[in-house]
Amino acid sequence: MTALPDFRRSRWASLTALVTTSVLLTACGSSGDGPDTGSGSGSGSGQAKSGGTLTFTVGSDVGCVDPQQVGSNDTIYSVRQIVDSLTDQDPETGKIVPWLAKSWDINAAATSFTFRLRSGVTFSDGSELTAQVVKDNFDAVPKLGALGTLAQGYLSGVENTTVVDPLTVKVTFKEPNAQFLQATSTHTLGIESSASVHRTPQQKCSDGVTGSGPFVLDQYVQNQSITLAKRTGYDWGSSLWSKKGDAYLDKLVFKVVPEAGVRAGGLQSGQVDAISSVGKANEAALKGGQVTLQHRANPGVVFGLGFNHARPVLKDTKVRQAILSAIDRRQIADTVFPTGTQPATSVLAHTTPDYTNLAADLAFDAARAKSLLDSAGWRTGGDGIRAKDGKRLSLTITWFPNAATNQPALELVQQQLKAVGFDVALKQSQVSQFSTTLQAGDFDVVWGNVTRSDPDILRNSFSTRLANFYRLPSSSLDTALSAQAATTDPAKRGQLVSEAQKLLVRNAYYAPVVELQTQLGLSKKVHNLDFDSGSRIRLHDTWIG
Amino acid sequence: MSQSLVDDPGKAALGLARPVEAGSAPEPGRRADARRVLRFLLRRPGLLLSAGVLVLVVLASFWPGLFTSQDPLKGVPSQNFRGPSGSHWFGTDELGRDVFSRVVHGAHLSLQATLIAVLVAFVLGGLLGVVAGFVGRWVDDVLMRFVDVLLSIPALFLSLALVTALGYGTVKVAVAVGIASVAGFARVARAEVLRVRLAVFVEASRSCGARWYSVLGRHVLPNAAGPVIVLATLDFGSSILAVSALSFLGYGAPPPAPEWGTLISDGRNYLANAWWLTALPGLAIAATVLATNRIARALDGEWSRQR
Amino acid sequence: MRRYVVKRVAQAVGVLWAAYTVSFLVLDYLPGDPVTAMAGAGMDSGQVDPAQLAALRHEYGFDKPVLVQYTEYLGRAVRGDFGDTVSTGRPVTSVLIDALPQTLLLTGAALLLAVLLGGGLAVVATYTSQRWLRQLLLSQPPLGVSVPTFWVGLLLVEAFSFRLHWFPAFGNDGLRGLVLPALTLAVPTGAQIAQVLAKSLLTALDQAYTETARAKGAGRWRVHLRHALRNASLPALTVVGLLVGQLIAGSVVVETVFSRDGLGRVTAAAVTAQDIPLVQGVVVFGALIFVATNLVVDLLYPLLDPRIVVASDRRASFA
């Protein structure tokens, strides 16, 4: 669903999370098909009972079952259940709460984090959770390679991880890194057994890992299915979960069915219990009947066009600004995406802390787009496509089939850009190729988003001092992004984040299009299937009846 | 004996493939031919219908404007998922585009790919077969063993291997499908060449000292062409199916190009709420293939029998 | 007889070797640089790290001369080693073997349905004296070979899964989940069997021996089944042998339509990911199944009709 959602955690999540969720709740409450966040789905009737299998169909497989290396929602849904994290984040308040860590201390400069671990936690291979295991996990992160950029981002600038005593571990950073606490709540820094950590990233990807989570990987067939079984004797659930001990469900089966229509039909006919990524097209068919639609807006960088600034055509600010003006965001949101989806009004989704409304800068204005292109020297040719010095105004948008909404959304973008003189080709690539494509810079324009409940995601995505996948030139944007990360004063930081958003939009470094709203379809017999703070799912408390 | 047998289907094929020409070139004997074609057709309403369907499809692929004035690539997003109606015969798709218009415009891409596929198979296969049959000896052995091997790899697998090597796109898919049916053409062409080569009149012209190329060009090729052309019409139908299967699997033109297979594949996303997106383009494929197969059957058997 | 068997087996091995060679030429030689294709996996090449490319090239042995590569690969392939898949690093052979049972189940069920439906249609159509029924039945096979399989599958899903809820729309769940995919796959195959069998039945019914049987007072049904069908089933058997390759290949489309796990879906994914070793494994595997089935058919032949022992190359009658 999201391209690489949750692409690196940002700083200050703990500080800003409160803001996040209050906005979230108002956003979700408006549309009213079933409960939205937190406290459970389905009709609350009946008594919770153990046992049964949950069959969940997703649209894609990222080709890897290691939580530390997976960034695509469709796969996160399943692999999240295998591992526990040091902390958990309350999706309603944004507060960081205990999970594997009973408590923690952060020094005033936010450079040192000490976690005191819960005792008696075991991995499914029987080994025990100790400070050394956590150290092994964090020490291995830099060796994760291409798929580990998420985890590497969270731990960037780490000086060392030390074992204070068998159940106390301390992580020290060279610079302030307050986002790290929230990062420890993510699946990306989920704790795996020492044996797993010592395997190669490829082995972890294809064979899976041993975690301490409420479910254990039973079978993985690439592009086909992921099967999980209940971990018996589980007794160290997150403090957010209501059930103590084992999970309710015996078995989880995640099947890959690429076509949204087939998924919807399977849910309707009762063949499956839950489906991911329900777009607008299938809402009508699913409403009524034995199905609940459950949705939650994702914070972070909105769906949009990421430009490769190394491409000559895209170096021209006017061309990029023309693209921003030529896109009719409302039309795209209303035609393709789930009901209630908001057109983008900034680079950040409106549920992200320190979001600044820049709707005026992102208004649809084809005339402005045309005059910008005219002034940049791109003249309309006979076939309606513009050209300059004999070169056509052609762009290729690379996209990944990780959500049913991607293709129709991009076909609309293609139409809208064609109307002002762009010749846009759409190129579908493999979901598993997402990171490779970005790293290699092998694209003109890439379609994606990043789920993140902290504005620091802007730094991760657009700072030239980090991965800089978009090949941006260094500019005052870097200054703003770095400054917000080093600021402990929330008000000051808000100003800097706002400035960064303005710079991004006004220089058209990125073309925001639409916000992501995760929408799942659930059979009415599924209860308590909840969203976590990143709009992914928690299945420990889920039961069928 | 062989002469008349070989001659018959060839002429029949050519005559039927260019019915207009047969009428417009008023040689004395041709008029009777035309009348016979007409009588032949009238007795077979199914065949007549097939010819009609094929004419419509060919017209659509060259002049889509004759059938629809709506833009296949641009629709009214607010009017998406409208069922079939008077204004949208095949309904509208997820972006409000007219599906009928997309099918009509898609005919161009799909038929183009099919033609390329048949042409590749015809030219390469024919060449292999003619060389093998005409040269004979070890060349024949080597070429025909190669053809055996091509036959032992299921056609779709061979196409998929070629697509993997060549990449995606309408033309590449077409070439991949064409190469996968080279073997069939090579066999038929070789068999025909062998038969004609041994025929009395060829032997005669050889013994009169004619050069090999003139024997080949004047006698062997024209007389061997018939069955190969019949095979080409038969292959046309299966090529449409193979091309659309590959574009259904996603190896054809990228969106928004309305290739027939792609239309159905895209429609799968909306199977639960808009049946017409898959059902109606599929009907177009089925009707076209049925029509070409019916015509091929007529060329192959009924026509020559009737004479 | 022994010579016949030895000759057939030797031919089968020869064809397999050649099929491997063709797949090598197409997949390893044709792309120019398969490593760039693999590293880029469907993207424009040129931007990939050259050092990484060189390493990959070395790992797969593409830095050696073509002939050396070919012999090395062939040597490994003979031992059943087709290398590792690019996308997961698992051995190609084990991926294929894991996927095979589901596909064999599907194609087996489809073949059974095709023989029953196609054969039944041909027998009834040639037996009936009702002209309209014969016309109606004989018009079905041409229809069956003209409809795209994926379309048939989708229509069946629409009708029997989404509307009637009789069968699951996707997945490998038990016998009920097998019905729609097997039926879909059986449509073109059954149609071809029906065409061939009906034709040869009609021919057989015209032959002298059926006349004789009839003159001896055998009942019509008995003549039809015992005498005509027995003789007519030989060409049909040949066709069945040839159709097995088509069925295996058809599983690519059908398994995609029904999101069924199996060889076909593995193939589709491999092509999409440009996973060259895996695609090559599939091609050779497909040829292996095809060759093996036809070997069995060849060896069954003399048992059914001893006259055919010294038959010339059977495949020559195809196409």
Q: In angstroms, how far is the first alpha carbon of chain C from the final one? A: 27
Q: Write out A150-173 in H/E/C secondary structure.
A: HHHHHCCCEEEEEEEECCEEEEEE
User: C220 Cβ partners below 8 Å, 6+ apart?
Assistant: C127, C214
A447 close to A514: Cβ distance less than 8 angstroms = no
Q: Write out B36-49 in H/E/C secondary structure.
A: HHHHHHHCCHHHHH
Q: Is the dihedral of CA A208, A209, A215, A218 positive or negative?
A: positive
Q: Which two tokens stand for residue C20?
A: 């491997």
pLDDT interval class at B178 (50, 70, 90): very high
B132 close to B140: Cβ distance less than 8 angstroms = yes
Angle at alpha carbon of residue A490, lines to A484 and A493, rounded to 5°: 25
Chain C residues near residue B158 by CB distance under 8 angstroms? 22, 26, 283
Q: Which residue of C has its CA nearest to A267?
A: C162
Q: Is the dihedral of CA A452, A458, A462, A467 positive or negative?
A: negative
Q: Which residue of B has its CA nearest to C161?
A: B272
pLDDT at B239 over 90: yes
Q: Tell me what pLDDT residue A45 has.
A: 55
Q: Which residue of B has its CA nearest to A59?
A: B269
Top-ranked range on mean pLDDT: pick from B117-121, B214-218, B250-254: B117-121
Taking CB atoms and an 8 Å limit, are B268 and A268 in contact across chains?
no
Taking CB atoms and an 8 Å limit, are A224 and C90 in contact across chains?
no
- A284 shares contact with chain B (CB less than 8 Å): yes
Q: What is the pLDDT along chain A (545 residues), one digit of tens a residue?
A: 344 433 333 334 433 333 333 333 333 333 333 333 333 444 445 688 899 999 999 998 888 899 999 888 899 999 999 999 999 998 888 889 999 999 999 988 888 999 999 999 999 999 999 999 999 999 999 888 777 777 887 888 899 999 999 999 999 998 887 778 888 998 999 999 999 999 998 889 888 999 999 999 999 988 889 999 999 999 999 999 999 999 999 999 999 998 888 898 889 888 899 999 888 888 888 887 789 999 998 888 999 999 999 999 999 999 999 999 999 999 999 999 999 899 999 999 998 888 999 999 999 999 999 999 999 999 998 889 999 998 999 999 999 988 889 999 999 999 999 999 999 999 988 887 787 788 888 899 999 988 877 788 898 889 888 778 899 999 999 999 888 877 767 788 899 999 999 999 999 999 999 999 999 999 999 999 989 888 899 999 999 98
C176-206 and C230-257 are packed helices; what angle lies between their axes, rounded to 10 degrees? 150
Taking CB atoms and an 8 Å limit, are A265 and B272 in contact across chains?
yes
Mean pLDDT of B128-140: 87
Chain C residues near residue A222 by CB distance under 8 angstroms? 87-88, 269
Q: What's the rounded Cα separation, in Å, for the pair C186 and A294?
A: 40
Mean pLDDT of B170-188: 92
Nearest to C119 by CA among C279, C212, C1, C236: C236
Q: Tell me what pLDDT residue B121 has.
A: 94
Query: CATH for C98-272, among 1.10.10.10, 3.20.20.120, 1.10.3720.10, 3.40.720.10?
Result: 1.10.3720.10
Q: Which two tokens stand for residue A342?
A: 């908001």
Long-range contacts of range A95-101, CB-CB < 8 Å, 24 or more positions apart?
Answer: A95/A14, A95/A17, A95/A18, A96/A13, A96/A14, A96/A17, A96/A181, A96/A182, A96/A185, A97/A238, A97/A239, A97/A240, A98/A238, A98/A239, A99/A185, A99/A236, A99/A237, A99/A238, A99/A239, A100/A129, A100/A191, A100/A212, A100/A236, A101/A184
DSSP H or E segment with residue A423:
strand A423-428
DSSP-assigned states of every residue in chain C:
-HHHHHHHHHHHHHHHHHHHHHHHIIIIITTS-HHHHHHHSSS-SS-S-HHHHHHHHHHTTTTS-HHHHHHHHHHHHHTT---B-TTT--BHHHHHHHHHHHHHHHHHHHHHHHHHHHHHHHHHHHH---HHHHHHHHTHHHHHHHS-HHHHHHHHIIIIIIIS--S-SSS--TTHHHHHHHHHHHHHHHHHHHHHHHHHHHHHHHSHHHHHHHHTT--HHHIIIIIIIHHHHHHHHHHHHHHHHHHHHHHHHHHHHTT--SHHHHHHHHHHTT-HHHHHHHHHHHHHHHHHHHHHHHHHHHHH-GGGTT---GGGG--
pLDDT interval class at C31 (50, 70, 90): low
Residue A514, strand partner residues:
A303, A343
Q: Tell me what pLDDT residue B18 has.
A: 29
Residue A113, strand partner residues:
A106, A171
Chain B residues near residue C287 by CB distance under 8 angstroms? 152-154, 157
Alpha-carbon B62 to chain mean position? 16
Q: What's the rounded Cα separation, in Å, for the pair A336 and A324?
A: 19
A179 close to A7: Cβ distance less than 8 angstroms = no
Query: CATH for A8-13+33-296+518-544, among 3.40.190.10, 3.40.720.10, 3.40.50.300, 3.40.630.30?
Result: 3.40.190.10
User: C190 Cβ partners below 8 Å, 6+ apart?
Assistant: C113, C114, C115, C117, C118, C121, C141, C144
B54-102 residue pLDDT tens: 999 999 988 988 888 888 888 888 888 998 998 898 999 989 999 999 9
B77 close to A328: Cβ distance less than 8 angstroms = no
Of the listed ranges A119-128, B135-144, C57-66, the least confidently predicted one is: C57-66
C181 close to C258: Cβ distance less than 8 angstroms = yes
CB pairs under 8 A between A and C: 79
Q: Tell me what pLDDT residue A3 has.
A: 40
Q: In angstroms, how far is the first alpha carbon of chain B from the final one? A: 15
Backbone angles phi, psi at A531, to 5 degrees: -85, 145
Q: Tell me what pLDDT residue C28 has.
A: 75
Helix (H, G, I), strand (E, B) or coil at B216: helix
Taking CB atoms and an 8 Å limit, are B81 and A281 in contact across chains?
yes
Q: Which two tokens stand for residue A298?
A: 């994702």
Residue A242: Cβ within 10 Å count = 12
Query: CATH for A300-515, among 3.10.105.10, 3.20.20.370, 3.40.50.300, 3.40.605.10?
Result: 3.10.105.10
Q: Please state, for a pLDDT cut of 70, what percent of chain B lies above it.
A: 84
B246 close to B176: Cβ distance less than 8 angstroms = yes
A325 close to A506: Cβ distance less than 8 angstroms = no
Pairing of strands A394-399, A423-428: parallel
Residue from C271, C282, C315 whose CB has the most chain B CBs within 10 Å, to mutate: C271
Residue A297, strand partner residues:
A517
Q: Tell me what pLDDT residue B248 has.
A: 94
Q: Tell me what pLDDT residue C274 has.
A: 82
Q: Above 0.90 for ipTM, yes or no?
A: no
Taking CB atoms and an 8 Å limit, are B77 and A404 in contact across chains?
no
C196-239 residue pLDDT tens: 888 888 887 777 677 777 777 767 777 777 777 877 777 777 78
DSSP-assigned states of every residue in A280-305:
HHHHHHHSSTTEEEEEEEPPEEEEEE
- A426 shares contact with chain B (CB less than 8 Å): yes
B247 close to B260: Cβ distance less than 8 angstroms = yes
Q: Please state, for a pLDDT cut of 90, what percent of chain A lies above it.
A: 59
Question: Considering chain C, what is the average pLDDT of its residues?
Answer: 81
Domain boundaries, chain A: 8-13+33-296+518-544, 300-515
Q: What's the rounded Cα separation, in Å, for the pair C206 and C223?
A: 12
Q: Which residues in A76-167 belong to E strands, given as ranges? A: 87-89, 96-98, 101-106, 112-117, 158-165
Taking CB atoms and an 8 Å limit, are B272 and A411 in contact across chains?
no
Residue C123: Cβ within 10 Å count = 21
A430 closest CB neighbour out of C41, C168, C265: C41
Q: Tell me what pLDDT residue C45 has.
A: 33
Residue C282, strand partner residues:
none
Q: Tell me what pLDDT residue C34 has.
A: 56
Mean pLDDT of C53-61: 69
A330-347 burial, b at 16+ Cβ within 10 Å, e below that, comes to: ebbbbbbbbbbbbbbbbb
Homologous superfamily of B33-74+85-306: MetI-like (1.10.3720.10)
A285 closest CB neighbour out of B73, B80, B272: B272
Q: What's the rounded Cα separation, in Å, for the pair C26 and C30?
A: 5
User: A523 Cβ partners below 8 Å, 6+ apart?
Assistant: A42, A267, A270, A272, A273, A274, A290, A291, A292
Q: What's the rounded Cα separation, in Å, for the pair A184 and A86?
A: 6
Chain B residues near residue A414 by CB distance under 8 angstroms? 255-256
Question: Considering chain A, what is the average pLDDT of its residues?
Answer: 86
Q: Tell me what pLDDT residue B106 has.
A: 92
- A442 shares contact with chain C (CB less than 8 Å): yes
Q: Tell me what pLDDT residue B258 has.
A: 92
